[in-house]
Structure 1
Amino acid sequence: MITWRRVTEDDFPLLRRWLSRPHVARWWNHETDAAAVARDFGPVARGEEPAEDWIALLDGVPLGLVQRCLWDDYPEYLAELASVTEVPRGAATVDYLIGDPAFTGRGVGPRVIGAMIERTWLDHPDTPAVLVPVVAANRASWRALEKAGLVRVAEGEMEPDNPIDDRLHYVYRIDRPTEGGATAHPPTG
């Protein structure tokens, strides 16, 4: 069972280890020294920034990180995404990594993504959809989104996290389930 706890400063050594793993470093392209991790994760951990960082645990064992935020809280990134696809007011996004390589390639990623989306519907009752842009070259990431029930609704150029990547991104979306529990089909195009 996937459970969650918010990232605290005590988690920074764990984040440093995960970010330095080759399978993570390829796509996250993040500095891994203590000062950089404190600089980049500290404001969220202290509640100074509106995003949320969560440690995903499987049966109590930390296995990855999910960052969640509302697009409206980050106007620069919202504008970039809105140049590629329609973004409903109040929409959320997630970014994720499986830090422990023992959990990669085992279907855990889609479970983590799906569990955070379910939590998003509960935590943010006014959020109509979750939209996730992913660099097109990161097939494992966009396949995990598809397996978690998200649908590709657009593609276009966006700034990649890693400068070695092409600007082409796919945008995935899932809408809040309807009253009967069925997931609404997002618009495509």
Structure 2
Amino acid sequence: MRNYDFRPLTPDDLPLMQKWLAEPHVRPWWGDVERNIALIKQDMENPAIIMQVISLGARPFAYLHHHDVRTFAMPQFGDLLSGTRAIKTFVGDSDFLGQGHAAGYLGAALQGLRRLHPMLAAAPNATDARLIGIYAQAGFQKRRLAATRDGQLVQVMTHH
């Protein structure tokens, strides 16, 4: 198993986040870069949200955040118990695509999170077959299709 390093996202990481969010493999799924940077800045001050940069060696390459499903009014998670952690992630550095890193670091993150939380949940875009497959490789199971507040169709997946 590779040794992935998880560290808190800091304000110094914002230029890197901006670069990653603009990448052609990230932007279609995460949307407007400036809007996301504004949300990240806002969320950095919320202790209920854990935001992390993942590195291999000394090279950062991915982002992951998680929070209780009740932290925000997210209808796609409405049927899940409080204490369930919602996870969202992406590989930002395109040099790390297609090598199993996403499933690898996600699996490493899940080991720690499963000790603390009864269930984990993810809600990738329903048309993002690649990310749905990565979550499945990490042990998530499809639960149902659901709409977000803005009407986007997502595949709700859980790990328990």
> Would you say 1:43 and 2:42 are equivalent positions?
yes
Pairwise CA RMSD: 1.9
56-65 or 138-147, which deviates more:
56-65
CA distance in 1, matches of 2:32, 2:114: 29
CA distance in 2, matches of 1:91, 1:48: 18
Q: How do 1:126-141 and structure 2 match up within 5 A?
A: 127-141=117-131
* Structure 1 counterpart of 2:57: 59
CA distance in 2, matches of 1:131, 1:63: 22
Moved over 3 A (4+): none
Bigger Rg, which one: 1
> Would you say 1:93 and 2:86 are equivalent positions?
yes
Select 2:155's aligned residue among 167, 170, 178.
170
| CA deviation after TM superposition for structure 1 residue 106, in Å | 1.0
CA distance in 1, matches of 2:107, 2:46: 27
CA distance in 2, matches of 1:132, 1:101: 22
Corresponding letter in the other structure for 2:67: C
Structure 2 unaligned residues grouped into runs of 5+: none
Do the aligned residues in 2 keep the contact of 1:20 with 1:32 (CA within 8 Å)? no
Q: TM-score, normalised by structure 2?
A: 0.89
CA distance in 2, matches of 1:140, 1:159: 23
Do the aligned residues in 2 keep the contact of 1:81 with 1:158 (CA within 8 Å)? no
* Structure 2 counterpart of 1:21: 23
| CA deviation after TM superposition for structure 1 residue 128, in Å | 0.5
State how many pairs are aligned.
158
Structure 1 unaligned residues grouped into runs of 5+: 161-165, 176-189
State, as a whole percentage, how many aligned pairs show the same letter. Answer: 18
Please state whether the residue corresponding to 2:82 is helix, strand or coil: coil
Q: TM-score, normalised by structure 1?
A: 0.76
